[in-house]
Amino acid sequence: MSGRPVKIGASILAADFLNIESEVKRAEQAKVDSIHIDVMDGHLVSDIAFGAGNVRSVCGATDICVDAHLMIARPQSFAMRMIEAGAGIITLQMEPCLDLYKTISDIKAANARAYVCIRPETSAGQLEEVLEWVDGVLLVSVPLGIGGQKMIPSMKRKISRLAEYKNKCGYSFEIGVDGGVTTENAAEITACGADYLVCGTTLFASTDMRATVESLKRRM
């Protein structure tokens, strides 16, 4: 057990799309710390999901912080639209992002938090040049863009290496993990150094989401 307060983000990619508002309310009542929205354009990943209008609707339905994960071919072109829609966190997929420093600076200037995300195939070492700029790093721990998968076991080493580098350099960014997080592996993931966990199926398939959130946090 890590003994640290760990945050839980609810990924609505796993929610009932016919009842998004009630699903968001269910997550809010379960005391999650954020609502995670995967914005996908069919280019970087094979699926299409959510746009600025969807983000605006979700933001209008809750007081919880909304995290827009720009899993798209040109994340730098849509960051400000998501902030205007109400997102408090913008998570930039690092691999396709051009003008990364400027985009991060613009996000912060707009009073939102700037996170970067890397896919499982990307080395954590490629993050080193941006770690002093960002508020958080999200490590996707399953193949990008598909929910309901099991975590890639080697990701735990990547979490540990990033946490070690963070402590060595004295940085304060949060480390997040998205993909395959369950009540069974949450303690091990946070013990590796994760500060927040993005959960989709684990939460929305639960008959008692509040109890699931409490269980996830107890295991920290």
What is the mean pLDDT of the segment spanning 112-128?
Answer: 94
Return the structure tokens found at 205: 């398939």
Q: What is the pLDDT of residues 132-185, one digit of tens each?
A: 999 999 999 987 766 667 899 899 999 999 999 999 999 999 999 999 999 999
Question: Cα–Cα distances in Å, from 153 out to 9, 41, 77, 100?
Answer: 21, 28, 33, 29
Helical ranges in 85-177 per DSSP H = 100-109, 155-169
Which is the catalytic residue, given 38, 67, 135, 195?
38
178 is catalytic: yes
Cβ-in-10-Å burial (0-12, 13-18, 19+) of 12 comes to buried
Q: Is 63 annotated as catalytic?
A: no
Question: ∠ CA 22-27-30 to the nearest 5 degrees?
Answer: 125
Catalytic residue, chosen from 41, 67, 178, 195, is 178
Q: So what's the pLDDT on residue 145?
A: 64
Q: What is the pLDDT of residues 47-63, one digit of tens each?
A: 899 999 999 999 999 99
Whole-Å CA distances, 84 to 111, 198, 205: 11, 23, 31
The residue type at 38: D
pLDDT at 2 over 60: no
- Judged on CB neighbours under 10 Å (0-12, 13-18, 19+), 111 is exposed
Q: What percent of the chain has pLDDT above 90? A: 86
> Positive or negative CA dihedral for 41, 121, 199, 130?
negative
- pTM of the prediction? 0.94
Instruction: Enumerate domains of the chain plus CATH numbers.
Output: 7-218 (3.20.20.70)
Q: What percent of the chain has pLDDT over 70?
A: 96
Indicate the average pLDDT of the chain. Answer: 93
